[in-house]
Amino acid sequence: METETNFDSPNPEIKVITNYDVGLIKINGEPVDMFQLISGDSNFNTLAEQNPECKEDEVLALRKKKWIDQNITPEEETKYKDLLAICRKPVWIKKTYDLSNINGVSFRGQKVEFAVNYVSDGGVTELGILVDNVKFSGTVTDFESGQPTGEFTILEDGTMIKMHQPFYFLEYRDPLQAFRNPDGSVSGLNMDQNIAIANAQGFFLPPAEGLSPQDRFRVVTTTYQPGVLAWYFNSKFNTRENSPIELDGQGYYLVVNSKVKELPLPGPLGNPELFDSNGYYATDSEVFKAAVDTQRNEFICFSHTAYATYANGAAPNCSGFDPAFVDAMQKLELGGKKLRFRRESFNDFGPLEQAQMFSVAEPFWGVVDSVALRTSLSTFRSADAGAFAPFRVYKVESGTNRLVVDETMTAATTKFEPINVFKDVDSLSGKAWWQRHPRFNQDSVIVNPSGLTFMVTSPSPAVQSKYDANSLPEAVNNIYRKPVAKVYFGWE
């Protein structure tokens, strides 16, 4: 479960935000139990005290010495880290539900649907919720006895050998597509629109005479690239083994990225001095670190001083910032929605309130601590698709609190040419440059090469011309049923 906590702060009171991921037990559609914390934590302090190996009292005492008293010794610091790691490991918890009395209702003699639901937000992907050894009336389902998809055994020279068959799954995604009837009314929902904006982050132009922080403030949005998205399923791994960082680029079900490359951000976030000689952000350089600090410190004062005080346990230093513009971002609007700092909107507001906000991340988000920006360009597109422009830059309209497109900066942003060919031999373990680069080694899955290739092209114009924009949605020739991509497969 993803949570956010002030555990590592001088605040004596431990607080936990739990509205990111929720596990639900439902009986006949009605929730009867909810899971929001690390398994084994029942008192909301982020420690799995139900783990027999967890020494909760010692961890809390050492936390006080480290963060509140600030007099912890190096030996105690090491002990604290070791004990904390143990208490942060989830443990199996036995749950029992009496179907003869669920919230005062008896299901005895009835047909019952028992469901386990997991609801997550669009942020960090955590382990989720695990269920094992489900017992009904003496019958136990252990989930381990079955044979995983894609796994089989062969007899070779008298020895049974377990084999694993990988699969590729291809889907077409277009977050920019809206399904409408000829009269303009909505004919259907495109669920891909939920990922249309991969990220929005704020930044500031350099100080200049006569320009306020609000005049210099910009928001850049990154759009997911339409095209054919390729997934690689490998039954050698189970559903819990899906971290390419921990598994040397492999996992259970991961994306095949068409282009693993740097994604230069607009404006001062893309200044040439921030890159090394190979064209990658020089994240370890003092110049880069100074740029991050400058941009993010100004962003905190402009957008979320109260939340920063809560999250960090101390008020931000805004002594050099124009007091007239402290938290001014919260008064701005984009698309009719109030701007809010991304983490604050997740933590302090419920889903209905979040729907009325436009979340803005801190400057340089995704450069160091996330792959979301770069992998938003993972899709394969036909060679004639043209360059894709993922960025749109906004500025505050003069005399208003509305953000409008900064046409000049948007036109100057980086464009990306389509990539339409995949060859599995290009993914030989450890051979590609990005597999050895610490910031890029999780951008794409490493596949087992067998000589497979595929090429994405545009469908024939003669075929596409048979589809009619004026036909009804249920018609077989409706415009939204026309082919959008053609894929050729081969082996080399």
Q: Binning pLDDT at 50, 70 and 90, where does residue 151 land?
A: low
324 three-state secondary structure = helix
Identity of residue 414: T
Instruction: Point out the domain boundary residue: 412, 446, 474.
Output: 412
Residue 325 has pLDDT above 90, yes or no: yes
Q: What is the pLDDT of residue 123?
A: 53
The least confident of 105-119, 135-149, 232-246 is 135-149
Look at residue 149 in the predicted model and tell me its pLDDT. 56
Of residues 369 and 238, more confidently modeled: 238
Quick check: 354 and 182 in contact, CB under 8 A?
A: no
pLDDT of residue 396: 97
Question: Do 179 and 131 share a structural domain?
Answer: no
Same domain for 123 and 233? Answer: no
User: Does 398 reside within a domain?
Assistant: yes
The SS3 assignment for 435 reads helix
DSSP state of 66: I
Strand partners, 254: 232
Res 250: pLDDT: 85
Q: Is the pLDDT of residue 414 over 80?
A: yes
Are 222 and 198 within 8 A, CB to CB?
yes
**Residue 165: inside a domain:** no
What is the average pLDDT score of the chain? 87
Work out the pLDDT band at 15, boundaries 50, 70, 90. confident
Partnered with residue 454 across adjacent β-strands are: 422, 489
When pLDDT is cut at 50, 70 and 90, the band that residue 243 belongs to is confident
Report yes or no on 446 lying in a domain: no
Number of domains in the chain: 2
Q: Are residues 33 and 98 in the same domain?
A: yes
Same domain, 184 and 235: yes
Token pair 């399904």 in the structure block, residue: 179
Enter the tokens of residue 35.
Answer: 């899971």
Quickly state the pLDDT bin for 355 (edges 50, 70, 90).
Answer: confident
Closest Cα partner for 381 from 477, 462, 458, 278? 458
More reliable by pLDDT, 136 or 333: 333
The percent of residues in the chain predicted with pLDDT above 70, rounded, is 90
Whether 146 maps to a domain, the answer reads no
Give the model's confidence band at 146: pLDDT under 50 very low, under 70 low, under 90 confident, else very high: low
Query: What number is the average pLDDT over the span 85-97?
Result: 89
Q: Are 382 and 253 within one domain?
A: yes
CA–CA dist 63, 59 (Å, integer):
6
Q: How confident is the model at residue 111 (pLDDT cuts 50, 70, 90)?
A: confident
The per-residue pLDDT for 179 is: 82
pLDDT at 173: 92
Residue 261 covered by a domain:
yes
Do 338 and 397 fall within a single domain? yes
Tell which wins on pLDDT, 344 or 36: 344
Are 220 and 369 within one domain?
yes
Residue 125's pLDDT band, with cuts at 50, 70 and 90, is low
Average pLDDT over residues 58-77: 93
Q: Is residue 148 assigned to a domain?
A: no
Mean pLDDT for 104-109 is 83
In a domain, 391, yes or no: yes
Q: What is the pLDDT of residue 260?
A: 85
- Give the residue from 385, 412, 439 where a domain finishes: 412
Provide mean pLDDT across the span 311-321: 92
How are strands ordered across the β-sheet holding 167-173? 167-173, 227-233, 253-256
101 C-beta neighbours (distance < 10 Å), count = 11
- Give the whole-angstrom CA distance, residue 146 versus residue 416: 45
Burial of 84: CB neighbours in 10 Å, binned 0-12, 13-18, 19+? buried
Mean per-residue pLDDT, 210-219:
96
**179 & 131 share domain:** no
Which of 46-60, 123-137, 334-348, 467-481 bottoms out in mean pLDDT, i.e. has the lowest? 123-137
Task: Please report the pLDDT score of residue 205 as a whole number.
Answer: 97
Among candidate residues 222, 177, 187, 255, the one with its CA nearest the CA of residue 484: 177
Amino acid at 45: N
SS3 367: coil
All residues at 6 or more sequence positions from 288 whose CB lies less than 8 Å from its CB, including other chains: 274, 281, 282
Q: Does 395 lie in the same domain as 333?
A: yes
In this model, does residue 154 exceed pLDDT 60? no
Domain of residue 306: give its range: 171-412
Six-digit token pair at 252? 């259970």
CB 428 within 8 A of CB 447: no
Out of 74-78, 374-378, 432-436, pick the least confident. 432-436
pLDDT at 61: 94
One domain, residues 103 and 178? no
pLDDT given for residue 18 in this prediction? 63
128 vs 376, which has greater pLDDT?
376
pLDDT, residue 90, reads: 86
Q: Is the pLDDT of residue 438 over 80?
A: no
Q: Stretch 451-469: mean pLDDT, rounded?
A: 90
- 217-237 tens-digit pLDDT: 999 999 999 999 999 998 888
Domain boundary among 367, 395, 412: 412
Pairing of strands 134-136, 114-119: unpaired
Dihedral of CA 33/34/40/42: which sign? negative
Residue 333 binned pLDDT confidence (cut-offs 50, 70, 90) = very high
Lowest mean pLDDT, pick from 12-21, 75-84, 207-216: 12-21
pLDDT at 101: 85
> Do residues 213 and 205 touch, judged by C-beta distance below 8 A?
no
Is 202 in the same domain as 321? yes
Maximum Cα–Cα distance across the chain: 83
pLDDT: which is higher, 478 or 136: 478
pLDDT at 74: 93
List the one residue out of 1, 17, 10 whose CA is nearest residue 313: 10
Q: Which long-range contacts (CB under 8 A, 24 or more apart) does 282-288 make?
A: 283/367, 283/368, 283/439
* pLDDT, tens only, 256-275: 999 888 889 999 999 999 99
Name which of 241, 266, 265 is nearest 253 in CA terms.
Answer: 241
Same domain, 194 and 96: no
